Amino acid sequence: MADKAVTIRTRKFMTNRLLSRKQFVIDVLHPGRPNVSKAELKEKLSRMYEVKDPNSIFVFKFRTHFGGGKSTGFGLIYDSVENAKKYEPKYRLIRGREGMFIEGHWVLLKGILCKNGMHGGIVGARVESIWICPIYPNGLDTKVEKSRKQMKERKNRAKKIRGVKKTKASDAAKAGKKK
C-alpha cells in the first residue's frame, strides 16, 4: 500500500512556546488508498520539519472525508521527548508509542492490544533491567475486582447512613401544616 502517492499539507501552523511545541492541522491526500498509517505520517513529518526524534511527534483525531482520498487531523511536534512526556496526556503517550519510556517503564504496544484495548492484567518480561509492559503500563487501565459480598456490604453501609424508613407524602404534608 505504500507504493501509492501521499501528499501531506499542514495549515494553521503555530509555535506554542508555553508548551514547547509546534501544532498544526494536517491534511493528507491519499487517492486510491483507504487511509495512511500514523507511523508513516510521523516519518514524513519528521523529514518535512527535520525532527531528530520521531517519538516527539504526535498525530491524532484523523477523520477521513466522505468519498475517501482525503483525511484531516491534528499534529504536535514537541521540542524534546521530555517535554512530550511532561505535557502530553498519558493515554496519547501510550497509544502512539512503539517504544518509549513512561515513568521508568519501556512501553511496547505494537500489535499487542486486542481490538478494544480490554485485556486482563499486566503482561511483561524483565529484559536488561527494563520492564517491557505491553498491556497496562503503570497500571493505568487496571480494574479492581469486587466480590458480590463487598458490593452488598457497601450498599448496606450506604443505606445505614442515609436511612431507609418509608414515609408517605401525606405524613410529610401533615407535619408541615402542624408547624
Domains of the chain (ranges, CATH numbers): 7-96 (3.30.70.3370)
- The pLDDT score that the predictor gives to residue 17 is 95
Beta strands in the chain (DSSP E): 7-16, 21-29, 57-64, 70-78, 100-102, 105-107, 125-127, 130-132
Residue 33 or residue 173, greater confidence: 33
- The pLDDT score that the predictor gives to residue 135 is 47
d(CA 63, CA 6): 16
- The answer to whether 106 and 130 are in contact (CB under 8 A) is yes
pLDDT > 80? residue 74 = yes
User: Per-residue confidence at 85, pLDDT binned at 50, 70, 90?
Assistant: confident
> Which range (42-46, 64-68, 163-167) has the least confidence?
163-167
Enumerate long-range contacts of 158-163, CB under 8 Å, 24 or more apart: none
| Helix, strand, or coil (residue 76) | strand
pLDDT > 50? residue 103 = yes
C-alpha cell at 75: 499534529
Question: How many angstroms separate the most distant Cα atoms in the chain?
Answer: 86
pTM above threshold 0.85: no
- The pLDDT score that the predictor gives to residue 170 is 61
- The pLDDT score that the predictor gives to residue 99 is 52
Tell me the pLDDT of the chain averaged across its residues.
76
